[in-house]
Chains A and B, each alone.
Chain A
């Protein structure tokens, strides 16, 4: 069972004592594809570690428009931020993108384990630092980049992630939600990229043709 936990990046390299404490306190939960895992503004009860499957974290505007905040796969974790706040509520909605097996650790157990094991607490701080950097990037992209730049940057990042064996696939609707735009605009931008020779569509694949030109496009230089 402890070997299963080594899939979780935050727990990898932790002592057997930490693993045991987590296993003693946590419960396994399974979710079907598209099932809601948690809702924004509900009381935060658990920290979740992803053992199998993929989840999507998103927020809704008052008019129902979605902004995808992140997509996480096996080995990742979520809901750590509200877990460390007093009387906190979930910061976003989370749904299962595929059948998921999660390890759910109660927030008070999570806090206790952090206090007992400073090494683990340091890993959590490192995790927060990385997430903060990611969110800062997202803020920069959404507020300072044009849609054209955002799409180019996104395509480069996703193609690079695929080379590192990411399995996440995107619909054009999903891409629009991730990039803070609407599907029509996203579709037009992709078609323009194809016309300009930056990408090629091959049925269910978007093939990126020219890294240099795409990087210049992401910087607004082309």
Chain B
């Protein structure tokens, strides 16, 4: 089974503001010991709220655009 695609966090850009943690509707992200982690990947629905919320562009939810086969 293909690995579940998850948001990508750029730790160098992340300022640990915690906004993405607060706004994630599924509780996927967490701040732990000065680090932003994906604590509950199984809950992620790829809604992209985390990327939308991040004001420094530290979270990326990438899309592949393709034709239906």
Is B23 an interface residue when CB atoms closer than 8 A count as contact?
A: no
Within 8 A of B (CB), among A165-222: 169-173, 183, 187, 200, 203-209, 211
User: B65–A204 contact, CB under 8 A?
Assistant: no
A-B contact count (CB 8 A): 64
Known: A208-B68, A211-B67. A169 touches B62 (CB 8 A): yes
Query: Which of A159, A169, A173, A204 contacts B46 (CB under 8 A)?
Result: A204
Query: Which of A183, A187, A204, A209 contacts B64 (CB under 8 A)?
Result: A204
User: A34–B67 contact, CB under 8 A?
Assistant: no
User: A206–B63 contact, CB under 8 A?
Assistant: yes
* B-side contacts of A203, CB under 8 Å: 4-5, 46
Within 8 A of A (CB), among B39-69: 46, 48, 51-52, 57, 60-68
Is A155 an interface residue when CB atoms closer than 8 A count as contact?
A: yes
User: A169–B51 contact, CB under 8 A?
Assistant: no
* B-side contacts of A41, CB under 8 Å: none
Interface residues on B, range: 10 to 19
User: A163–B51 contact, CB under 8 A?
Assistant: no
User: A205–B67 contact, CB under 8 A?
Assistant: no
Identify whether the interface residues of A are mostly helix, strand, loop, or mixed: mixed
Query: Which of B5, B10, B12, B68 contacts A207 (CB under 8 A)?
Result: B68
Q: In the bound complex, what is the Cα–Cα distance between A163 and B67 (angstroms)?
A: 9
Nearest-CB residue, chain A, relative to B12: A34
User: B68–A171 contact, CB under 8 A?
Assistant: no
**B1-32 interface mask toward A, CB cutoff 8 Å, 1 = contact, 0 = none?**
00011000010110000000000000000000
Q: Write the nearest CB–CB distance from A211 to chain B, whole angstroms.
A: 7
Q: Which B residues lie at the A interface, using CB under 8 A?
A: 4-5, 10, 12-13, 46, 48, 51-52, 57, 60-68
